[in-house]
Structure formats: structure tokens, C-alpha cells
Structure 1
Amino acid sequence: MRREFNSRLFSGMAFLTGARIVGSLCIFATTLLITRQFGADMMAKYAVYLAIASVLSVLLPCGFHAIGSMLAAEYVSQDNPAMLRAYIGYGQKLIFGTGLLVAGTAILLFSIWPDSQLHKYGLISAFAVPSAVAMALIYFNSSILIGLQHPFAGQLPDMLLRPLLVILVTVLFAGFVPDIETWTFLLAATCIFWVTASLLWLSLRRHSGSGPVDPASFKKEKKKWWQIAPSWALITLLWDYFIEIQILLASLLFASFEIALLHICFRMRQLAGFGMKALYSLLMPKVFAANAIENDSEAQGLIRLSSRVAFVYALAAWTAVALAGPFLLGLFGEQFRQGHEVLMIIMATLPIRALFGPAPAVLGMKRNQNRVLQILVLALFVSIAVLIATHQSVGLTAVAIGYLAAGVVSTLLMWFSARQKTGINCAAWA
């Protein structure tokens, strides 16, 4: 039985990791094609469009997408399908409501200051805001499907299908509409986000709960949702966009080539981390379900398994990049090979995080999300302090050292906090 479970786990992990890699390669190819075919100006506008939409998509759900997997797993294990459906409906309405609020605010600002510096973002925002709503729905519906232990249905549309559609549309535009206007390309990108969101919505409809919900129970649960969700909005922003923050900080201190090199190194780190993300998406819903019925021994066993498998994977990934790093960097140009040291320092965060396990998720499922937020804020200040103190002496390596220092501090503090607050040792040696 255990062998069969492990076999399914590793095959699922391999498939999801492969899908992420294919999707990432499609996005990379899209970036390359846009820059070469349509010019740097188009690429810059597309990058700003994605940046605005990405940040808004994290804020619009108010954290409800970040706790979706955990609550879905809990409601299923408690045999409470009515509350699951109530949560899904409430979360989706919240996203549309906040989306309308942001759209109205943007229209008001552009109307009040039509000739201001802000106005140059009018066209981009006209597509970024509806795209952000679609992205928020993607993240929310995906988190529910993952919590219901449907990781493929929850991740493949955004992970694989959307990048394939983007590169396909870009190739078609490059081949048949070489003089395409910016608004046409942004409209196509927005439509692709909504196609992806619609597919996830249809998939979720087949798996969501049913039945009437007790008004008193709904009121009680809604209060609980709002107690924990907003903190997770900030946590998600700091956790998922920590790399972007580092690049923005570096852009204040270093030249364009160094920023490009840093961007490449961080993207390689993200690519290497996909295997761990796939593993956690497969195992953590089972941990949440075991925790919901207070089966602590099963939860601890699953956490131990995830930490050990993740650590072995992380060591293998670090070793592979150590050996192949110079070659991979050389693909972008011979001058990029000098960034191998920076790459390896950044990559060192992978085995460190894997060794100490999924402590943020454990703290979250035990309702200690505020501790996670405090630690992430501290880690951000650590990275800034290291960057300021060392950038003149070691150059771009200062960013990598700051990122590693922040990773070590946050990992150790979260592991210690999880053990102190919950009694669960998330580490691989537990």
C-alpha cells in the first residue's frame, strides 16, 4: 500500500514538474519573440501590464485564495459540503466586488487627472484590471481544487494551457500581423486569462459541494475567514513576490546588465523550485485533511515524508545547477557566465528550505498566520540591510547574500515557531 502511494506521489510530482517546465519555457519563448519581433517598447508595456495585473490579483481576493486549499480540505474531511460551496461562492463574489471597486477607482483617477503622468498607464490599466480579476479567480478556484485533492485539474490550465495559448497567439501575430497595435496584443492576453479562468470554474463546478447552509454557521465561519484571510494576502505578496522585490531594490543600485543577470539567476531558482511546489501541492491537502480530524500522527508522517523527498530533490537540483550552471548562463551570452557564483548562492536557499520543511503551511493550518507575516517582514528587512551594507564591497553578490540571509532567517524562525506553537517538527530529520 505504501509502495503504491509513493509511486503515485512521485509520478504526480514528475508530471506536474514537467508541466511547469514546459509552461516556463513557453513564457520564456514568448518574451524572446515579443522583444525581437515587436520591439522593446511592446515588451516593456507587456511587462508593466503583467506586473500590475499580478500584484492586483494577489490583493483582490483579500487572502481568500491563499487559505482556499486548507479550508476546502477541512470542510471535506468534516463532511460539510454546504459550507464548502458557501465559501466558494463568497470568495468568487468578493473578487468581482473588489475588481469593480478597483476599476471604478482607476476610471475616477484618470478622469480627474487626464493629462498627468498617470495617464500614460491608462491603456495598460484598461486591460490589466480585468486580467487581474481573471487571475484572482484562477488562483482562488485552483486553490480549492488542490484542497479537494484534484491537483492536476487545479494547476494544469494555468501552468501549462495558458502559456501554450500565449505562445501560439504570439506566433500567429508575428507571422500574420507584424505591425500589431499594443491594445490588440493586450486584448488577446486578457482573453487568454479569462479562457483559463472559465476552464477552472467549469472544473470546480463538478467538484464543489451542495446543499443549504445554516445562516448561523455561515456567519460564524465568515467571521473566521476574515480573521485569517487578510494576513495571508500580505504573506502571499511577500512570499510569492520576494524575488521581484529583490530585483526592484537591485535596480536602484546596479546597471542594466547586472539586473538582467540577476533576473536570469532568480528565474533559474524558480524553475528549480517547481519540483518542491508540485510535491507540496500533492501532499499538503492530505496534511490539512488529517489535521482537520485531529489525526496528528498521520499529519506528522505526511509532513516528514514531504520534507525528506523535498530535501533529496533540492540537493539534486542544486548539484545539477552547480554542474550545468555555466552552460545554462552561457546560453544568454558568454558575459553571463560570470554570474555562476551569484546563481549558486541564490540556489542554496532551496535545500535549506527543504530541510526544515513546510513550516509556513503548518503554522497556517494551526491559525498562526500572523507569526508567518511577522517573520517574512523581518526577512525582508534582513535582505535590505545586507544589500545596503555589502553592495559596495561585493557588488551584485550582495543581492544573492541578502536573499540567502533572508531565506535562512525566515526558514529557521518558521521551523522553530511551528515546533513551539504546534508541537510539529517539520524538519526532514524528525
Structure 2
Amino acid sequence: MSLHRRLVSQSTIIFGGRLFGAGIVFLVQAMIARLWGAGHLGDFLIITASCNLIAVAMPLGFHTIGAYFAAEYRARSERRQLGVFMLHAYGHILVALVLLLLAGQFVLGLVGQGGSIVAQHYVPVILLAFSGATVMLSGSLLIGLKRPFSGFFADGIFRPIILVAALVGAMGIANRDEGFDHMVWGAAIGFVVIALVQFGFTLIAWSAVPGRDTAVRPRESRRWWRFALPWMLIALATDFFFDINLLLLSQILGREELAIFGVCTRIFALVSFGVSAVYAVSMPDMFESEANADRSAFHRKVGDANMVATALSLVLFCVTALGAPIALQFFGPGFSAGAAPLAVLCLALVVRSAMGPASLVLSIHDRPYASLPAVALGIIVLFVGNWLLAPPFGLMGAAISALIAITIWSLALWAIALRTAKMDVSILQWFRARRAAALPVG
């Protein structure tokens, strides 16, 4: 099967699974708004954002490089080396879990957040973060081991099912606050179970890697850290961009506006996942080409993945623009105000896809830190944009601020990749390569 067809077929299956799971989460959020009000939905979204940000920090960036090194060690038949990597990565999560449970709530009190919604649900929040970190790490490793379905379905399908079960179990409680508390606790316990089951699948996939007797390189950990630390910051600012944005906007927008924007960002996250799935399917092949020093194949695979991702983002933008007004009605009449801001957010996905996977290419060229200035610029622009645009223009101002920030950092990353790696990762390169191939020789 050609790379184009495999990218489309596998990413379609993965996206379909994620769409199913996101549909469940969508209904859960709508039920929270209907049963307990927009205020509790805002609390739920703040808890989710906080859990995501804690989870991305717990593995110390090793979840962001898991697919890279798992693919490399599998291609080189270095099973023991992969085992040492996994021991370090999961160990970081366990140490962080213990520290957070022992001292985290005390630290929240010191910084004046002792009465926040996160502090009120602290233990389940930490359990949710632990499960999220474990699922992210296991999923990354499984992708690198060419088990993308096992890597994505735990988070995309099974965790949403657990969330439904937690909500159904809490619906019979008359008091809104108690019902919400029971739902959060039920989700936390269920998510931990899912994370442990997926961890078992990861161990099975690792045991199938050849090279049991290969020697372990003692200084390999230096290479891990050189990639992990910058990629933790990159992932924090990209994959969890809107979680950061939601916490920033919580100081500017009211609870109802925050709930509406939070729902829009969750829909955007679903749409952007379709694009991420394309790169997830193609990453192991890119890494193998780089490991085998096949530069032409590497450039071709990056271009093919970029073309599929950009075309998909355009389709998803059109679908979202048409379907968002109807979908948002499930949350209540007031949520229809998010339709136009959501369309603006989806324009950012088109821009990001067209500029290509610059951070990935920089890391493969051993320049992971080169992405950080562009990422920092994007966060600064987001902060300033929110401060200038959100107060006077509300939801639309917040959406335009996000679009400007994503556009600036995408262009900056493209320029850095072009200068540092000498490679144009934008969609224009794909068209230039196809035009050059079509020209007659001689």
C-alpha cells in the first residue's frame, strides 16, 4: 500500500475512533451544562485544563519523544535500550505523583489558590493528571512501535466511555455540587484503570521488539534529555495551547463566556486531532528513513504527510463552519455565540498545517531547541492579544488573538526550519517537488 493510501486509511480509522470518543465527551459536556449549569461546565473545563497541564509536565518531556526513540530502537533492534528509556520515563511520572500528593496542595495554599476549584478537588485532579501522563507516554511509545490504534484508542475511546459512566453514576444525586464531586471522583478512578491497562499493552509491544542481547549505551540518556526538555515546552505550548489560553482567559471572561469558549476549544482540539493523526501514522516511516540516511525518502514522506494534513484541515474547516451552529445548540441557546469564534479558530489549523511539521523536522536534524524562540513568541503574542482583544470583543476577540498567535509562531517555525535545517516544510515545497518531477529530463 502506498504511503498516501496508508496515511489516509489509518488516520481515518484513528480519527473516526477519536470522533466517536469526542462525541461522547461532547454529550457529557452538554449534559453538565443542562443538568448543573454553565458554571459547573466552566469548572469542569478548568479542571480538565489543569489536569492536562500537570500531566504534560509529569513525564518531564519523555512522552513527547517516546515515539521518536521507540521507532529508532525498534528499527535498530535495540530492545534493552528501549527498556531503559521506558524505565526512566515511567519513573518520572511515579516520582511526580508522590511529590504532588505530598506537597502540591500546600503549595496551592501558599500561592493563594487554596480555595480554587482545583484545590477543592485536589486528589482526583492529581489522579486524573497521573492517568493522563501515563496514557500520553504509553500512547507515544505504541505509536513508535507501529501500534497506533493501541496508542490512540485508550484516550480517544475508552476514557470517554469512563467519563459517561461517571456522569451517569452522579446524575441521581440531587445536590448539584455533590453530583459534580462524585462525577470527578468516578472519572479519576476509571481513568487510572484505563492507564494501567494500556501500560500492560505497552509492555507486550516492547517484549516483541527484537535485540534482547544488544548492549545498552550508558550515555544515551544525555541524548534523551537534549530532546525531552525542549519538546516538553513545545508540547505544552502546542498540544495544550488552548488549556493555557483557557486559564489565561479565566481572569478576563465571565464564567458563561469561559464555558462557551472552552467548548469551542474542545471542538477545535477534536478537529486538530485529525491532522495530528496523519503525522502520527507517518512518523515511524520518517524516523526510519532518517535512521537509514535516506534523505530523499525522508523529504518525500514529510511532503506527502504535509499535503494530506493540509487538505484534511481544509475539509475539517468547512465541516466545522457548517456544523458548529447546530452542534453548539446542544449546550443551550447561549452557546450559539461560539459558532463564529470557532470558525476563526479552525482557520488557525489550516495555517498551521500549511506551514508543515517544522518542530518535528528540527528535532530530527538534532536542533530541538531551535523551536523554542518561535513557541515563546507565540505565547507572548497570545498573552498580549488576550489582554488587548478579549475585554472589548469578548469571544471573538479571544478567537482572533489565538489565530494571530498561531499564525505568527507557525511562520516563525517555518522560517527557522528553512534557515537551520535547509528544508522548506510548507505545502509550497510539495507543489514545487511535484512540478519538478513532471518536467521532462534534458
Asked if TM exceeds 0.5, the reply is yes
Q: Determine if the alignment matches structure 1 residue 258 to structure 2 residue 257.
A: yes
What does 1:399-410 correspond to in 2, within 5 Å? 399-410=398-409
Map 1:93-108 → 2, pairs under 5 A: 93-106=91-104
| AA matched with 1:239 | T
Match of 1:148 in 2: 145
The amino acid across from 1:245 in the alignment is: I
- CA shift at 1:100, angstroms? 1.4
**Moved segments of 4+, more than 6 Å:** 39-42
Is the contact made by 2:63 and 2:137 (CA closer than 8 Å) also made in structure 1? yes
**Post-superposition offset of 1:93:** 1.6
- Cα deviation, residue 227, structure 1: 2.2
> How many angstroms does 1:322 deviate by?
3.1
Distance in 1 between residues matched to 2:320 and 2:44, nearest whole Å? 30
Per-residue deviation, 1:234? 1.9
Residue 74 of structure 1: aligned partner: 72
For residues 163 and 333 of structure 2, what CA distance do their matches in structure 1 show? 29
| Structure 2 residue aligned with 1:295 | 294
- Corresponding letter in the other structure for 2:171: A
Q: Return 5+ residue gaps in structure 2 as ranges.
A: 430-442
> 1:264 offset after TM fit, Å?
3.2
Q: Return closer, same or farther for 1:73/1:245 CA change in 2, 3 Å cut-off.
A: same
- SS of 1:66's equivalent? helix
Deviation at 1:9, TM superposition (A): 2.6
The whole-number CA distance in structure 2 between the counterparts of 1:417 and 1:329 is 38
The verdict on how the C-alpha distance between 1:82 and 1:343 changes in structure 2, with shifts beyond 3 A counting, is same
Q: Determine helix, strand or coil for the equivalent of 1:65.
A: helix
Q: Is the 8 A contact 2:374 2:412 kept in 1?
A: yes
Aligned with residue 57 of structure 1, among 55, 66, 74: 55
Q: What are the within-5 Å matches in structure 2 for residues 199-218 of structure 1?
A: 199-208=197-206, 209=209, 211=212, 214=215, 217-218=217-218
Q: State the alpha-carbon separation in 2 of the partners of residues 376 and 364 from structure 1.
A: 14
- What's the offset of the Cα at 1:70? 0.8
Deviations 1:115-135 (A, max 9, x none): 994598656222222332222
Query: Which deviates further from its counterpart, 269-278 or 258-267?
Result: 258-267
Percentage identity across aligned positions?
A: 25
1:136 aligns to what? 133
- Contact 2:302–2:425 under 8 Å retained in 1: yes
Counterpart for residue 233 of structure 1: 232
Larger displacement relative to structure 2 (416-425 or 54-63) = 416-425
* Cα distance in 2 between the residues matched to 1:339 and 1:314: 20
Q: Give the Å deviation of 1:393.
A: 5.7
Secondary structure of the residue aligned to 1:79 is coil
Residue correspondence of structure 1 range 21-420 to structure 2 within 5 A:
21-37=19-35, 46-47=44-45, 49-106=47-104, 117=114, 124-174=121-171, 184-208=182-206, 209=209, 211=212, 214=215, 217-218=217-218, 220-391=219-390, 394-420=393-419
- TM-superposed deviation, 1:89: 1.6
Tell me, in whole angstroms, the C-alpha distance in 2 between the residues paired with 1:256 and 1:169.
Answer: 23
C-alpha displacement of 1:17:
1.0
Deviates more, 1:59-68 or 1:269-278: 269-278
- The amino acid that maps onto 2:212 is G
- Cα distance in 1 between the residues matched to 2:238 and 2:310: 20
Give secondary structure in 1 for the equivalent of 2:64: coil
Give the aligned CA root-mean-square deviation in angstroms.
2.9
Q: Deviations over 1:57-114 (max 9, x none)?
A: 111100011111111111122222221111112211221122212222236659x98x
Number of matched pairs = 423
Q: For residues 121 and 273 of structure 1, do their structure 2 counterparts lie closer, same or farther at Cα, with a shift above 3 Å needed?
A: closer
Structure 1 gaps of 5+ residues are none
Q: Residue 400 of structure 1: CA displacement?
A: 2.0
Residues 234-264 of structure 1, C-alpha deviations (whole Å, 9 max, x = no match): 2221112221232333343334443333223
SS at match of 2:121: helix
| CA distance in structure 2 between the partners assigned to 1:316 and 1:355 by the alignment | 13
TM-score by length of 2: 0.86
